Amino acid sequence: MVENQIIERQLSFAELKIEIKSVGEDILILVIGGDKPHIGSAVLAIPRPSLRDDTEISCTSSVLNVVGHKDEKICRYLAESFCRKYNAVTVCAGGFHCDNLTPAQIQEVVDACNLGNRG
């Protein structure tokens, strides 16, 4: 079971907040941040045996995106990481928005979502 937690990351240009909650045996993750927090994507990851090695856990994901939003990358990464690590149905939803982000700033957001051993 995952520990309920709130992770706040101060980026060089904005703040990123990741809330993780246990919902019974399942996991719910909310990602918000930037100048205009919103829900731009929702990813549902369902654990299953890996197709390459049935001793490993993989997942099948379903994605809902709001038109014009690019939040899938971080929501998919978090949902699938937690799903595989905890062998649990996981939903990650949310959005991070700042106008005119540079490629380096986008990478900073992605890197901040790497929670290491947490997920």
The pLDDT tens digits along the chain (119 residues) read 798 999 999 999 999 999 999 999 999 999 999 998 999 999 999 999 999 998 899 999 999 999 989 899 999 999 999 999 999 999 999 999 999 999 999 899 989 988 764 44
The pTM score is: 0.91
73 contacts: CB under 8 Å, gap ≥ 6: 110
Residue 62 to residue 68: CA distance in whole angstroms: 18
What is the residue-wise DSSP string for 29-90? EEEEEESS----EEEEEEEEE-SS-TTSEEEEEEEEE-TT--THHHHHHHHHHHHHHHTS-E
